[in-house]
Structures are given as C-alpha cells and as structure tokens.
Amino acid sequence: MKNAFKKLVISIIVILFLLIPSNFVFANQGSAPHSITLLTGVAGGSWAGIGAVISEIFRNAGVKSSGESGGGASNVIMVDRMDAELGMCATTDPPVARKGEAPYEEKHTDVTGVCMLFQNFVHIMVREDSGVTSIEQLKGKEFASQPVGTSTQAVFSDVLSVYGLSENDLKITRGGQTEGAALVKDKHVVGFTATTAAPSGTLLEMAQFTPIKILTISSEKAKELSEINDGYVETILPAKTYPGQDEPITGVRADTILIVNRNMPEEEVYWITKTLVENLEMLQSAHSTMRNLTVEEMAKVGGVELHPGARRYYEENFGVGICDN
C-alpha cells in the first residue's frame, strides 16, 4: 500500500512538472526567438561582415537568422517599429531619435540596447594631392558621404556643424564605402567620410593605392560634439593604422551597439545576450577591432538604456554594477 501511494505521489509530481511552462522552468536560460532579422550597414562596410558573423552565431544555436543591409539611423526606425528584431547603430543615433530631430521625422522611444560591439572612428579622409588640410577647407569641394539614414551621414552633418558648415556647403555624392573609395581613387572627389571600425578593410585597400590624409577633429570641437550628443567621445587614432599615417590623429568615436525593441520579451533578449556572450570568441573574430572585446565592454552601452533581459543576464552572471558606465 505504501509503495502504491509513493508511486502515485511521484506520478503527480512528474505530471505537474511537465505542465509548468518551459520558459519558467528554464528561465535562467532564456527563451530563443523563432527567428532573428539583424539590420546591418551598407555594402562594403564593416557592419555587414560583422552582422554576418552574429547571424551565424544565432543559426549555430538553432535559430533562423539573417543579416540585411541598412543604416544606423534607419535601423533605429525599423527596430522601433518592430520591423526587425535586432539592428546595429551608433551610440549617437538613439538620442537623436528619442527627440525626433533630423533625420528623424518623429520620436522613436522604444529602442533599447543589447550590447556594445566595437568603437567606430569618424574617418574624414582626403587625397593628399587635394590640397585640403582641414575640415573648413572642404567647403565647395566634391566630397563623398553616405546615404541619408546612415550613421555616417548623421555624424558627418554634426561634424560640419561645429565647423560652421552644412552638407549644402559641399558638393556631396552619396553611396557606400566601396563607392566612396572608388570615387577617391578615380579623383572624382577630394575625399570621403565613413564612421566605421578602424582599420576598415575598404579604406586600407584605398590607401595602398591613393595617398590619403585623415583630417583632425580638435579637442575643442570634440567637446562641442559631445554637447550636441553624448554618444560622441574624443579619441585618438593610433599612428600606422593606415598606410602613410605616421602620426596619431585626434578625433571622435561613436561606438557601434546592438539594439532591440523594449517590447521584445525579456526571456528572448536574455537568450540573445547569453548566446552572444557564450560565443564571445567567435564574436571577437568578426573584425580585427573586436579581437579584445570583453563582456565588461559589451555590458556598457552608451546612448540608450539596456533592455531588461540584457541587463538581467549581465547582472545575474557577472555581478551588479557591470552595466554601469
């Protein structure tokens, strides 16, 4: 009789366990999304290649995932509207989007962070034979920027503004990094801009055949930029980053971050964050600038608040305070 009662109790416990929702039982593991669309950057840029590696990480973990071309500013809009699960953008994009300032036509307030990926240097490059030695001297010149809706275009507009210029003061041609580099090599433009990881493969290749000069953004102007948008940080581009660059260059950076809509389920964002951290070595291989990326750096996301799922993962596994900048 006792054995029969014991078996009955065990059977009831097993049945109750099976009835508990799986996302409750495995809450500390998170819950994988059905699929993930990741918006990256323009063709030829570092974001596209990095996005391909991130998508591969998710596919290896059993989730259908793809990287699609985009741009920092437009990615914020798409993620805010939940037209994509994840997006890459610069830390300078979300603060502008929340205010609904140009290039945004309305406020976008539902964007949160997952992780920091790497630092972007604001490259403003000119041909050495152009005679241009400062940003002020770009006025009236043929110059290549990127499409409206990209982080590069928004950043370049801000840089011009602190030097008393606007895009209308230049003769701008728009396209991706590959197009910009080709225009410089063919001498159709004096230079071009790209807010991207340094060194950029496209820029390295261009600099090997076309002597270039990277224009300085002074400390004073860097401070003005940080007052416009706290996503800007003064930085130094080390000497020898590019061929012919013998001296370090003072400039600004805007980190690349991974963003998600605040309404995405907490357990799914927990899973996304966990999967990226557990595949840190593969993530580091995505680009040379990420080879020393740490979890501590990933957890410090500028320009936007962390999604609760991401914050919970970092704090549960690496301690309270890891997310503080």
Q: pLDDT tens across 145-159, in order?
A: 998 878 889 899 999
First CA to last CA distance, the chain: 63
What does the alpha-carbon distance between residue 167 and residue 296 come to, in Å, rounded to a whole number? Answer: 37
- pLDDT of the chain, 325 residues: tens digit per residue: 445 544 443 444 434 344 444 333 345 678 999 999 999 987 777 789 999 999 999 999 999 999 999 988 899 999 999 999 999 998 999 999 999 988 899 999 999 999 999 988 999 999 999 999 999 999 999 999 998 878 889 899 999 999 999 999 999 999 988 899 999 999 999 999 998 888 888 889 999 889 999 999 999 999 999 998 888 989 999 999 999 899 999 999 999 999 999 999 999 999 999 999 999 999 999 988 899 999 999 999 988 999 999 999 999 999 989 998 7
Residue 147 lies in a domain: yes
**4 belongs to a structural domain:** no
In a domain, 16, yes or no: no
- 152 with 247, same domain? yes
Last residue of a domain, one of 236, 253, 270: 253
If asked whether residues 95 and 187 sit together in one domain, one would say no
Domain-embedded: residue 285: yes
Write out the residue range of the structural domain in which residue 75 sits: 30-118+256-318
Residues 128 and 221 in one domain: yes
Which CATH number covers residue 63?
3.40.190.10
Count of the separate structural domains present in the chain: 2
Question: Within a domain: residue 11?
Answer: no
Asked which of 203, 223, 253 is the last residue of a domain, the reply is 253
The answer on 182 and 297 residing in a single domain is no
Q: What angle do CA 30, 264, 60 make, to 5 degrees?
A: 50
Asked if 249 and 260 sit in the same domain, the reply is: no
CA–CA distance, 66 with 26 (Å, rounded to integer): 26
Query: How far from 322 is each of 218, 271, 273, 282, 301, CA to CA, in Å?
Result: 32, 18, 14, 22, 11
